[in-house]
Structures are given as C-alpha cells and as structure tokens.
Amino acid sequence: MSSTTVQAFPPSEEFAAQANANAEIYDRADADRLEFWAEQARRLDWATDFTDTLDWSNAPFAKWFVGGKLNVSVNCVDRHVAAGKGDRVAIHWVGEPGDTRDLTYSQLLTEVSKAANYFTSIGLQAGDRVAIYMPMVPEALISMLACARLGLTHSVVFAGFSSGALRSRVDDAEAKLVITTDGQYRRGEPAPLKTNVDEALGTGDDAAKSVEKVLVVRRTNHDPDLNWVEGRDVWWEDTVDQQSDVHEPEAFDSEHPLFLLYTSGTTGKPKGIVHSSGGYLTQVSYTFHYVFDHKEGRDVFWCGADIGWVTGHSYLVYGPLSNGATEVVYEGTPNSPNEHRHFEIIEKYGVTIYYIAPTLIRTFMKWGQQIPEAHDLSSVRLLGSVGEPINPEAWRWFREVIGGGKAPIVDTWWQTETGAIMISPLPGVTATKPGSAMKPLPGISANIVDDQGNPVGAGEQGYLVLDQPWPAMLRGIWGDEERFRDTYWSRFAEQGWYFAGDGARYDEDHALWVLGRVDDVMNVSGHRISTAEVESALVGHSGVAEAAVIGAADETTGQGIVAFVILREGVENTGDELIAELRMQVSVEISPIAKPREINVVPELPKTRSGKIMRRLLKDVAEGRELGDTSTLVDPSVFEAIRSKKS
Ligand code: 6R9
C-alpha cells in the first residue's frame, strides 16, 4: 500500500489557533531533551525538588527526577481543591443500570482521605501491595488514589479475570489487602464478584498467605449467600465511611513504585510491570495536556477503557485528574441496555474528548451509523484511538460520524510498559493520515530498525525500538530482573535500546505506521506482510465489519495468509463470489502476494476482554491444532461457531 497517496488531514486553522501544542515544542525538546522533561515535571507539585533529571548509569534501570519527592494523590486531588477548584466535577460516574454519581474534587478529597485513614488503621505501610479487583465504580478510583496517597503500591486486576488469575497476581505481589465489590453488572445482570475473591484466596493450607483483609464495596446487593470470613472481610460502609475525612499526606521519592500492572507475555506467566511515581505522573500529565489538547474547566473527557488496563490507569485516573479534568467514568458495556448507550452519555454530559479502541469503533460501524446519528454529538471536538492499529476505514468513519467530519483524531501508540503515550500526532500541529500514529511526541525518541539494528528505509518494515529512556518507562518486572532484561533489552543489547515487540515502517513522508506485534507479521514467500495491513484491506470492503488475519504454516510459501471475517449486518454471504471479491480487494489494496490463501466468514472473533483479537488462537484453528490457553477470552464458545463455519 502506498501510504503517501493516502489523503492527509492537516489541522484546521480554527483548531490550531486554540491548540495547547505548537510546532515549536518539538524544537524545544530536540534542543535539550532532558531540560524539556525537567520543564514537564514542573507541571507537578514537588514537596522536595529533584536534583537531577535522569540517572541512566544503571541502565536499563532508570531513575527520573532524582532526589525529588511528591505525593501523587495530592497532585491529582488536593492541589486542585487548594487552588479553589474544589467544586469542579472530577468524575461524572454512570452506572450500568442507569444510576449516576457526580464527584467534585472536594468530594474526591474527602473520599480518598477516608480510605487512606482506613488503610493506615489496619497497619498498611508505604511499600505494601494492595490488589484492587473491582468493576468501574467510583471506589475503584478512590482506592487507587488512596493507595498512592500512602505510598502503597496498587495492583489492579481486571474484574473480568478468573479467580485463578487473581490468585497468581495476589501471590506474586504478596498483597496484604484485596479490595472488591459484592458483585458487578454484566450486560444488565448482576453477577457475583466477591465469590471469585473467596475462591482465589482459598482456605486452610491453601489460603493466600499474604492477605490480611478483604475490603468489600456494596454494589449489586443481590447475593443472599454472600460468603463472609470473620476477621478478614469488612464492608467499605462499616469501615472506610466511618473514618475521619482529614488526612495529612506525606511525600514519597520520585522512584517510589506507584503501581504494578500484570500483562501477559510469551510464556504463560504474567509479568508485573512496575511503574514509578514522579516520572510516570510527569509523562501521563504532559501527554494528557498536549495529546488531548485538554482545557481545564471546559472540556469533558471520556476514556472508554477499564481501570484493569494501562489505558484506564493513565487516562482515566492519573492523566485526567493530575490535570484537574472533568471526566466521564462509565461502568458498563456499550450495548447495555442498547447500542445507544455511549452516544446518550456523550450527549448528556457534553463530552468533548472521546478516547476509545478501534475494535469498539468497528463494532459501532457494524451496528450502523443511524445509531450515533440519532444523537447530538456536536460537543465532540477531539477523538482518540488506542490499543491496536486503526484501519483507515474505521478512522474515516470515526472522524465523519462521531467527529462531525472535523474532529482531529489522535492515534496513540504506547504500551503497558511505556506507561504513557509515546507516538501520536499533536492535534492542531500534525497533519494526520488515517491509520498512522505519525511520529514520536516531543521528548520521545523512537526508531525503526532491521535485525542488526540498522535503520530501515522508507516503505520497509522493521522493528520499533525506543532508543532513549523516557520518564514513564517501566522500572522493571516485579521480582524478576532477568526477565526484564531478557524481554525488552536483550534483542538490541549492544545498542541499549528498548525493543517494543511491534513492527513498523515509515512512509515517504516519514510518517510512522505501526503494523502490530512482530509475531503478527507474516512472512509469505520471503515477503513480509503485516496482518494489520491485510485486515485493513478486508475491512475496506463494504460488506466486511471486522477481520482477523494470521500467518499459518504453509509448505511452499513459509506462511500462508488465513483470514477470518465478520460481515456487516444485513450483508448476504454469497459464498465463493464474496470470497473472490475479498481476495481481489486485498490484491488491489496491497499486492497479489498478500491475497489470503483462505477466507472464512465467521459470526464472531475471539477477543480478550481488552478487545484484542487473539490471533494466536485463530492460528491454532487454521493449523488444525488443539487450542492453547483460552482463559483470557471473553467468550470461549466462539470457537465452536468458528470451527463449524471454517471452510
Ligand atoms: C496502550 C495499550 C500494547 C500493544 C502495542 C501494540 C498495540 C497500542 C496502538 C497499537 C498500533 C496504536 N497498540 N496502541 N498498535 N497503533 N495506536 O494498548 O497497551 O495493552 O500493553 O498493548 O498494543 O501492539 O505493543 P497494551
């Protein structure tokens, strides 16, 4: 695909005139990167100033803002109240059954202080770990901030994970406290959640050794047989709510571990990614301000991610709140009670900045544009995408249908490990191309290289590396220094670069295109073809709602391309005729070598709860193997349907 022929969208004059960013900040960052970051760190309130911006002498273990001390929760809450903004709404919370709750910054301070007082009362001390296994209720965010306030390192475990996944994370981190809810809503129905905690923590000889208390927020109130372990389990309303609402915070070292977040690796055991306080908060705060062009007191921000993922940590908690933002936090699924839910919320709260994953955009496309069109979405002025490469079709639809044909889109590339956005256009400054994350942010340095570490030319695919440390970078894998070095720093050890695990290429204009995980890059007859590129071509066909592509072992070509597609609502499957059309589509869009060997029309694609397509499992199907680990799938039964439809 020749990306230079892709239409670029320059920023409108109107947007540029009011934008937080301008072209000059790239120059400033280039002129003196460390000075630039020191300047960004000044966005925060430091109790003790830092003496050095970066200590990289023990690479790959970085220290940023050396000697500085700060309190993360003070930066997210107290300082806004102290500045007279206490009455500003921090969180417009929307529950799945339709209940709502607004929390101002003053109210947030009260709640966070009470929780901090309770945590202290049960003997927790800075450095202890706390597991948070909760749906998207306000107390989840309050708990995270209360941990931050006390220097307790939180480990949020997605509430859709199984009890086994929770147990392994609790054990690995040796968490002393687990915070949960009695139940959670799932597509309109209450389901137990604390039961999973009981299962996870076990009893007798099998009991999780580290856990002293389980703190339970009442949410669904529907489980008459709720199990209760005397001495271990307590209700939030009986404990936290009874505490004083005054709490004197203490400052912590810039490098103090703010949180652990487990992410799956190539081996089965999840890695506990460790994030710091000062460096992390600096970069999430900086990126929130510039990438989302956030205007305090005017914008209403909505990030659709769950706090169980890094996007929820950085752009639902620490980024927006450190900037004094007003944001929407929605508890439920997008089609509960019906497909209008997101658009009703945008309309009701006047959401101005809307940040979601491409998979959701494609779902909206599948539902049809008459649904968003039934709502006044004119408040939306900026759109963001994250989590996977966005195909140009979805990009255009997003801008047209949700963004009124004019809202800029920021396609933000980053990872759990990077902590904050790394590669993205700056709205009002960067001309965007549908499907490209464009270029590294000011202060960030990335490159695309071949196996030997040589830069690749325009149009050639290579590995995405980060060749300079950045403030929000992971500080390690919890308890496993060797795995940290191995996973990220061994591939380009000589050069000392971070290997992101993604493939990418520059086009002729030096715009950066992320092509997906390198394990998703196929090699067909010696040609490297990205699964994302083929998927994008398939989705470019008017009948296709969503596509997943994998490289399956092939005797003659090394790998053969196998595609799985879902058709749009109302599109008829004409069998061979359709398949021929789709193959032609790919041939025309990319090249005849990219034509899928096999195209299967299926009713569903297997996805993780964070919305990523599990290509590994599709590969198992395509290669006729037993399925690998399906524990992170939303709905393991989709495979029955896929197998039965597979040609
Ligand atoms: C933030 C987040 C990280 C992986 C990353 C890449 C993919 C994320 C992307 C993107 C293309 C984007 N990814 N954003 N690919 N364009 N804008 O998603 O973190 O869950 O750790 O996933 O997601 O493959 O390596 P995480």
Task: Give the residue ranges of DSSP H helices in 10-57.
Answer: 13-18, 24-31, 33-41
Nearest CA owner, ligand 1 atom 12: 413
Query: What is the distance between the alpha carbons of residues 349 and 327, in angstroms, rounded to a whole number?
Result: 9
519 secondary structure, DSSP code: G
Minimum-distance ligand 1 atom for the alpha carbon of 385 = 17
Residue type, 568: R
123 secondary structure, DSSP code: T
Percentages helix, strand, coil for the chain (3-state, rounded to 5) are 35, 25, 45
Beta bridge mates, 522 = 529
**Binding pocket residue ranges, ligand 1, CB within 6 Å:** 263, 309-311, 386-389, 411-416, 437, 500-502, 514, 516-517
Substitution candidate for ligand 1 out of 283, 414, 502 with most atoms within 8 A of CB: 414
Find the 385 Cα to ligand 1 centroid distance in Å: 10
Find the 50 Cα to ligand 1 centroid distance in Å: 31
- Work out the angle between the directed axes of helices 576-589 and 531-539 (0-180°, nearest 10): 120
Q: How many CB atoms are closer than 10 A to CB 225?
A: 6
Whole-Å CA distances, 233 to 193, 223, 553? 14, 16, 51
Of the candidates 98, 414, 40, 91, the one whose C-alpha atom is nearest the C-alpha of residue 263 is: 414
Residues of the chain where predicted confidence (pLDDT) is lower than 70: 1-5, 264-269, 519-521, 525-528, 628-637, 639-641, 643-647
CATH architecture of 525-645: 2-Layer Sandwich (3.30)
Find the 414 Cα to ligand 1 centroid distance in Å: 5
Query: What is the distance between the alpha carbons of residues 560 and 189, in angstroms, rounded to a whole number?
Result: 43
Kindly state the tokens that stand for 491: 């591939």
Find the 374 Cα to ligand 1 centroid distance in Å: 31
Query: What is the distance between the alpha carbons of residues 530 and 519, in angstroms, rounded to a whole number?
Result: 10
Query: What is the distance between the alpha carbons of residues 277 and 70, in angstroms, rounded to a whole number?
Result: 8
Minimum-distance ligand 1 atom for the alpha carbon of 515 = 11
Find the 413 Cα to ligand 1 centroid distance in Å: 6
Find the 605 Cα to ligand 1 centroid distance in Å: 19
Question: Measured in whole angstroms, how far is the alpha carbon of residue 156 from the centre of its chain?
Answer: 13
Nearest CA owner, ligand 1 atom 26: 415
User: Quick check: helix, strand or coil at residue 427?
Assistant: coil
Nearest CA owner, ligand 1 atom 4: 415
Q: How many CB atoms are closer than 10 A to CB 204?
A: 5
Q: What backbone phi and psi angles, to 5 degrees, belong to 416?
A: -50, -40
Query: What is the distance between the alpha carbons of residues 564 and 431, in angstroms, rounded to a whole number?
Result: 33
Nearest CA owner, ligand 1 atom 17: 413
Minimum-distance ligand 1 atom for the alpha carbon of 416 = 21
Task: Give the residue ranges of DSSP H helices in 81-137.
Answer: 105-121
Which pairs with CB-CB distance under 8 Å and at least 24 residues apart come from 99-102? 101/138
Q: Are 634 and 612 in contact (CB under 8 A)?
A: no
Minimum-distance ligand 1 atom for the alpha carbon of 424 = 17
Q: What backbone phi and psi angles, to 5 degrees, belong to 520?
A: -100, 0
Q: How many CB atoms are closer than 10 A to CB 242?
A: 12
Minimum-distance ligand 1 atom for the alpha carbon of 501 = 25
Query: Which residues, other chains included, contact 69 with Cβ-Cβ below 8 Å and sequence gap of 6+?
Result: 46, 47, 48, 251, 252, 253, 254
Which residues belong to the annotated binding site for CoA?
186-189, 311, 335, 525
Minimum-distance ligand 1 atom for the alpha carbon of 423 = 17
Find the 206 Cα to ligand 1 centroid distance in Å: 37
Please give the radius of gyration of the chain, using alpha carbons only, rounded to the nearest integer: 24
Nearest CA owner, ligand 1 atom 23: 387
Query: What is the distance between the alpha carbons of residues 559 and 157, in angstroms, rounded to a whole number?
Result: 36
Find the 145 Cα to ligand 1 centroid distance in Å: 25
210 secondary structure, DSSP code: S
**pLDDT per residue as tens digits for the range 429-458:** 999 999 999 999 999 999 999 999 999 999
Nearest CA owner, ligand 1 atom 7: 388
ipTM: 1.00
Residue type, 424: S
Model pLDDT, residue 266: 47
Query: Which residues, other chains included, contact 270 with Cβ-Cβ below 8 Å and sequence gap of 6+?
Result: 165, 168, 169, 172, 262, 263, 264
Of the candidates 419, 500, 436, the one whose C-alpha atom is nearest the C-alpha of residue 467 is: 500
Q: How many CB atoms are closer than 10 A to CB 612?
A: 15
Nearest CA owner, ligand 1 atom 22: 415
Find the 38 Cα to ligand 1 centroid distance in Å: 27
Of the candidates 594, 615, 593, 598, the one whose C-alpha atom is nearest the C-alpha of residue 606 is: 615
Length of the chain: 647
Which residues belong to the annotated binding site for Mg(2+)?
539, 541, 544
Nearest CA owner, ligand 1 atom 10: 388
Which residues belong to the annotated binding site for ATP?
387-389, 411-416, 502, 517, 528
Burial label, 373 (beta-carbon count in 10 A; 0-12, 13-18, 19+): exposed
Find the 412 Cα to ligand 1 centroid distance in Å: 8
Task: Name the one residue in this structure whose structure tokens are 């940023």.
Answer: 64
Model pLDDT, residue 358: 87
Question: Measured in whole angstroms, how far is the alpha carbon of residue 150 from the centre of its chain?
Answer: 25
Nearest CA owner, ligand 1 atom 16: 389
Substitution candidate for ligand 1 out of 158, 316, 415 with most atoms within 8 A of CB: 415
Substitution candidate for ligand 1 out of 158, 288, 388, 530 with most atoms within 8 A of CB: 388
Find the 357 Cα to ligand 1 centroid distance in Å: 10
Nearest CA owner, ligand 1 atom 5: 415
Query: Which residues, other chains included, contact 212 with Cβ-Cβ below 8 Å and sequence gap of 6+?
Result: 122, 123, 176, 177, 232
Nearest CA owner, ligand 1 atom 19: 415
Q: What backbone phi and psi angles, to 5 degrees, belong to 530?
A: -85, 135
Can you give the residue ranges of every domain in the chain? 525-645
Query: What is the distance between the alpha carbons of residues 1 and 559, in angstroms, rounded to a whole number?
Result: 20
pTM for the model: 0.86
Of the candidates 119, 78, 93, the one whose C-alpha atom is nearest the C-alpha of residue 240 is: 119
Query: What is the distance between the alpha carbons of residues 316 and 561, in angstroms, rounded to a whole number?
Result: 37
Model pLDDT, residue 634: 63
Q: Are 20 and 294 in contact (CB under 8 A)?
A: yes
Of the candidates 10, 14, 11, 9, the one whose C-alpha atom is nearest the C-alpha of residue 428 is: 11
User: Quick check: helix, strand or coil at residue 90?
Assistant: strand
Find the 312 Cα to ligand 1 centroid distance in Å: 13
Substitution candidate for ligand 1 out of 390, 391, 413 with most atoms within 8 A of CB: 413
Find the 434 Cα to ligand 1 centroid distance in Å: 16
**pLDDT per residue as tens digits for the range 127-172:** 999 999 999 999 999 999 999 999 999 999 989 877 888 999 999 9
Which residues belong to the annotated binding site?
186-189, 311, 335, 387-389, 411-416, 502, 517, 525, 528, 539, 541, 544
Model pLDDT, residue 633: 65
Minimum-distance ligand 1 atom for the alpha carbon of 500 = 25
Query: What is the distance between the alpha carbons of residues 248 and 149, in angstroms, rounded to a whole number?
Result: 9
Query: What is the distance between the alpha carbons of residues 77 and 90, in angstroms, rounded to a whole number?
Result: 9
Find the 415 Cα to ligand 1 centroid distance in Å: 5
Would you give the end-to-end CA distance of the chain in angstroms? 28
